[in-house]
Amino acid sequence: MAEAAEPIIPINTPSRTFECHKSIVSAVEIFPDERRMATGSTGKTLQVSGDGQMIGSSDKKGELIARDGNTVESITQSIKVHPKMICSLKFPSDSAVLVAGSWDITTIERA
């Protein structure tokens, strides 16, 4: 009888569990230093910039907020960029720009 194949993704026991949300966790981003993470719950999206200095976060209403990557304090007011829920965010390699995709089938770039 042949041996069972090794799983493609190793199964590990979690080293730590965080209970910080009241609903489904729908977004997880790891900072470049691999020592920190940011999470978002239902209807929210987030993205950490390549240098870890900024976090882009969004909500169901199509609003976007930039936050300081170290303090998590807002560094912008809430900006309405889409009429519907934002479903994806991305910082290109230049963290001065944030791209947002929405359920309204558009993509918007903000500097």
pLDDT in tens, 20-40: 666 677 777 778 888 887 777
- Domain residues for 87? 25-110
- The domain that holds 70 is classified in CATH as 2.40.10
Rounded to whole angstroms, the Cα distance separating 24 from 86 reads 17
* Best-predicted range by mean pLDDT (17-21, 50-54, 86-90, 104-108): 50-54
Whether 13 maps to a domain, the answer reads no
Whether 60 maps to a domain, the answer reads yes
Question: Minimum mean pLDDT among 29-38, 63-72, 77-86, 101-110: which range?
Answer: 101-110
Whether 12 maps to a domain, the answer reads no
Predicted confidence at residue 76, as pLDDT, reads 84
**Model-level pTM?**
0.61
Count of structural domains within the chain: 1
Tell me what the pLDDT averaged over the chain comes to: 74
Predicted confidence at residue 95, as pLDDT, reads 60
Q: If you ran DSSP here, which 8-state letter would residue 92 be given?
A: -
Whether 55 maps to a domain, the answer reads yes
Whether 19 maps to a domain, the answer reads no
